[in-house]
Amino acid sequence: MDWWGGAHDAAQPVLLTTGTDLPNGAVCLMSVGGAEVSAPEVMAMERVCVLFDGNDAAAVQAARIQWKTLTDAGCPAQYWSEESGRWEKKAEK
């Protein structure tokens, strides 16, 4: 694992970045810390995961807005929760 901007970006199986380029040919995007994901980014990937703290009201609200924005743009989406102690699919669009 390495940070973006190094000489060996293309060889990294996991590349931490705030950019939108894909020097390592990534097919999965993990969005954390409230980072927004655009519909074109979602459509360009095989899988996109938006991770947020379900105990943080502001993070939940931001995730709801992002869900609506992306699904309104035609992106397929699933919402999973582990509130019961195991992962369960709560919604799909």
What residue ranges do the domains of the chain occupy? 26-92
List beta partners, residue 15: 2
pLDDT number for residue 22: 84
Secondary structure of the chain in the HEC alphabet? CEECCCCCHHHCCCEECCCCCCCCCCCEEEECCCCCCCHHHHHHCCEEEECCCCCCHHHHHHHHHHHHHHHHCCCCCEEEECCCCCCEEEEEC
pLDDT number for residue 4: 64
Averaged pLDDT, groups of 10, the chain, 93 residues long? 72 83 88 92 94 94 95 96 91 93
Its pTM stands at 0.81
Q: How far apart are CA 38 and CA 85, in angstroms?
A: 30
pLDDT number for residue 3: 62
